[in-house]
Amino acid sequence: MRVTVVDDEMFATAAATALLEALPSAAPTLGVATGETPMRVYAELGCRSRRGEVDLSGARVIALDEYVGLDAGDPHSYTAYVRTRIADPLGIPSANVHVPQGDSADPAAAAEVFEQRIADVGGVDVQIAGIGSNGHLAFNEPGSALDSTTRVVELSQQTRHDNARFFGGRVEEVPRQAITQGLATIGRARSILLLAAGRAKADALAAALRGPVAPGVPASVLQRHGDVTVIADRAAWGRMA
Ligand code: GLP
């Protein structure tokens, strides 16, 4: 496991650089986390793209997860996030963007379709991941099986509370379910870039990287992966230092 700890203002630069170094080709399959942490990394990639320093227009993008029950056009959906913050700024055509279909009438079937889709496109080259304050990975909440695959999950109260900031602070508007790649699915990515910023992540990050590999801390499964790079700011690294 490679670790880079940076001052907060260098976080986006360091993460974008690490990502670009990890990409195997000009047409990689990039797994993307949503959430607040990677936003500035995507913004940095967008800047570099506008300046002509990088060209990711040939990339394929695969999301980790999606809320169940939001329309794909809903601005709170991860479908909208991936389109507006990643695909559009990087010039990636929508045919190469894959997000679980959270508005499906049959979300369980949509989860299976998504698991198969990842396999069909040959898997993920580099997976950008974040970590929840409760140690979750994508929407694999504590208690998730380490060998889980893409499925419908119930979101924990803590996750709904944490994500209420994206819903105008209204917890009751945060969906109760999501489709998430499973821990085994994520573990199949050839390389993983774990991003953690802020003090709220310090306990979860230490438990994930130092504690036992166990369903209680889903992100601990990353200890079993042979190619993980961690980019953390000093606050998130606080319990590791
Ligand atoms: C969210 C997402 C994850 C994300 C994590 C941390 O709920 N489902 O994919 O990595 O929680 O998000 P943030 O960076 O906003 O703290």
Distance in Å, CA 35 to ligand 1 centroid: 4
Q: Is 178 helix (H, G, I), strand (E, B) or coil?
A: strand
Q: 241 in a domain, yes or no?
A: no
Q: 240 in a domain, yes or no?
A: no
65 CA closest ligand 1 atom index: 8
Q: 78 in a domain, yes or no?
A: yes
Question: Would you give the DSSP letter of residue 171?
Answer: G
Single out the catalytic residue among 141, 162, 163, 233: 141
36 CA closest ligand 1 atom index: 15
- What pLDDT does residue 152 have? 98
Q: 114 in a domain, yes or no?
A: yes
- What pLDDT does residue 26 have? 77
Q: What's the pTM value of the predicted model, to 2 decimals? A: 0.96
Q: 153 in a domain, yes or no?
A: yes
State whether the beta carbon of 135 lies less than 6 angstroms from ligand 1.
no
34 CA closest ligand 1 atom index: 9
Stretches in the chain below the pLDDT threshold 50:
none
Count of domains observed in the chain: 1
* Rg of the chain, C-alpha, whole Å: 16
CATH code at position 195: 3.40.50.1360
Q: 238 in a domain, yes or no?
A: no
- What pLDDT does residue 77 have? 97
Residue-range definition of the domain harbouring residue 179 = 2-233
State whether the beta carbon of 97 lies less than 6 angstroms from ligand 1.
no
Q: Please, which contacts does 106-114 make with residues 24 or more away whose CB atoms are closer than 8 Å?
A: 107/68, 107/152, 107/177, 107/179, 108/151, 108/152, 110/179, 111/150, 111/151, 111/152, 111/179, 112/150, 114/150, 114/179, 114/181
Q: 6 in a domain, yes or no?
A: yes
Q: 219 in a domain, yes or no?
A: yes
- What pLDDT does residue 24 have? 86
Distance in Å, CA 90 to ligand 1 centroid: 21
Single out the catalytic residue among 44, 66, 103, 136: 136
Distance in Å, CA 130 to ligand 1 centroid: 6
Buried b (16+ CB within 10 A) or exposed e, 5-37: bbeeeebbebbbbbbeebbeeeebbbbbbbbeb
- What pLDDT does residue 168 have? 95
